[in-house]
Chains A and B, each alone.
Chain A
Amino acid sequence: MDAQEIIARRVAQELRPGNLVNLGIGIPTLVSNYVSPDLKVFFQSENGLIGTGPIPEQGLEHPLLTDAGGRPISALPGASTFDSAMSFGLIRGGHVDVTVLGGLQVDAHGLLANWMIPGKMVPGMGGAMDLVSGAKRVIVAMQHAAKGKSKIVERCNLPLTSSRPVSLVVTDLAVIGFPDGKATLLETAPGIGVGEVLAVTEAELVVGGTVPEMKI
């Protein structure tokens, strides 16, 4: 199983029947591959759709039915469409149960930076700040490290996305939560020891007793 699949499979386990879920681009998009249709999870696309379905077959795309990146998608039976004020009302108003976002850094208190690298990458925050400020649960799905550097840091040196901490971080090595506001190692990836995770994590992680492996 590759790193992205580990992350996507583990995040998918966090979704509950009937949840309204917003998936960001990148690894978060893969999560829907591991969610059973029986769960009846609603996926929102913030450009104005609840009930997104799979990418349509070539030739069956509709030019007015796209995801937030402008790529063709489909709508499942029972889908609904709305304008952007409604879409972000759903997000900021706490009606979205779970948002899954990518991350550049998450710090020891759960603060997320994921929208800007000053001087290098200034694309704009799009919907990220509203999602982190307003969704009921915020899950970050990202690689544990990039170019050998831990993305779980003591303190973010990149601009923050929100002053509200995230709920959970799922990486290819670990699941990290923030009970009492402190980064805590909740699970390790299959075959990965606690010591291995601690060795590649810049932030100090709380380890309470035996840490179980992800069941994926």
Chain B
Amino acid sequence: MKAVSVEEAVAMIPTGASIMIGGFMGVGTPERLLDEVVRQKKSNLTIISNDAATPGKGVGKLFDAALVSRLTATHIGLNPKAQQQMLTNQVAIDLIPQGTFAERIRAGGCGLGGVLTPTGVGTLVAEGKRQIEVDGKPYLLETALRAQFALVHAFLADYLGNLAYALTSRNFNPVMAMAADTVIVTAEHIVPVGVIAPDHVMTPAPLVDYLITNSNG
């Protein structure tokens, strides 16, 4: 793990990159990283995040700045800008069930080709997918999801990169921290090694590549 400034971290992300972003309606989203992505105008992005939040918040900022060309999400109903960009074909949006979204990312981080889920059988979601019967019950084969980058927000990070999350801001952060080539983390508090007890570490340090320093300098 390397500690870097938010400017250095975002400079590593190329235009057109695929990026997983933690958070649920902007809660548990690394806002400082997204502000910097907007400032450096990284465009043509493929975003994987649960939702499009709302304008001005979380992933919504990327739609405000029209930086997204592709989005995989579960719900965009509370962001009129994202819906508008979908309807005018500025953004290609793939909407998938939330449990399937979580499991596809988990599979991507755990070396699995995909998962079998009953969710979506017999609905529009099943179109173009393989249906497999196990013990007489039908399941859809949902393939693994990975990205070049994961932008993760933790509550606590220690100097090695061990992470702990708080309350409902955990959401997709731990699974995304396993499913990207490069994992960049912001944390509310950066603490000495040992402050997060081994039993309370939710994302082990070796998964984290870069931790954004909390200094203003």
Chain B interface residue count, CB cutoff 8 Å, equals: 50
Q: For the complex, give the distance between the alpha carbons of A81 and B169 in Å.
A: 9
B27 and A84 form a contact (CB under 8 A): no
A49 is contacted by which of B25, B96, B168 (Cβ under 8 Å)? B168
Q: Are B75 and A84 in contact (CB under 8 A)?
A: no
A39 at the interface (CB under 8 A from B): no
Contacts of B118 in A (CB 8 A): 92, 133-134, 164
Contacts of B166 in A (CB 8 A): 64, 81
Does any Cβ of B come within 8 Å of A126's Cβ? yes
Q: Which of A27-67 contact B (CB under 8 A)?
A: 45-49, 62-66
Whether B169 lies near A88 (C-beta < 8 A) is: no
**CB atoms of A125 and B172 under 8 A apart:** no
Answer whether residue A21 sits at the interface, using C-beta atoms and an 8 A cutoff.
Answer: no
Contact of A70 among B27, B124, B174 (CB under 8 A): B27
What is the CA–CA distance of A64 and B117 in the complex, to the nearest angstrom?
30
Bound CA span A134–B119, Å: 8
CA of A47 to CA of B171, assembled, Å: 6
- Asked if B123 and A162 sit within 8 Å, CB to CB, the answer is yes
In the assembled complex, which residues on chain B have CB atoms less than 8 Å from the CB atom of A48?
Answer: 24, 167-168, 170-171
Complex contact A45–B168 (CB within 8 A): yes
- Report the nearest A residue to B94, measured CB to CB: A124
Q: Please judge, given known A-B contacts A88-B103, A162-B122, A163-B123, whether A70 and B170 are in contact too, CB under 8 Å.
A: no
Contacting residues, chain A, for B53 (C-beta < 8 A): 70
Fill in one digit per residue for A115-127: 1 if any B CB lies within 8 Å of its CB, else 0: 0100001111111
Chain B contacts of A121 at CB under 8 A?
Answer: 77
Set of chain B residues within 8 Å of A70, measured between Cβ atoms: 24-27, 53-54, 78
Check B168–A125 contact: CB distance below 8 A: no
Q: How far is the CA of A65 from the CA of B27 in the complex (A)?
A: 8
Pick the contact of A64 from B98, B99, B167 — CB < 8 Å? B167
Q: A70-B78, A124-B74, A161-B123 are in contact. List 11 more A-B contacts (CB 8 A).
A: A45-B168, A48-B170, A70-B53, A87-B102, A92-B117, A116-B124, A123-B83, A124-B75, A125-B75, A125-B97, A162-B120
A-B CB contact pairs (8 Å), 11 listed: A49-B168, A85-B102, A88-B102, A92-B118, A121-B77, A124-B51, A124-B76, A129-B125, A130-B100, A161-B123, A163-B122
Q: CB within 8 Å of B: which residues of A?
A: 45-49, 62-66, 68-70, 75, 81-85, 87-89, 91-92, 116, 121-130, 133-134, 159-164
Residues of B at the A interface (CB closer than 8 Å) are: 24-28, 50-51, 53-54, 73-78, 83, 86, 95-103, 105-106, 117-125, 155, 165-175, 202
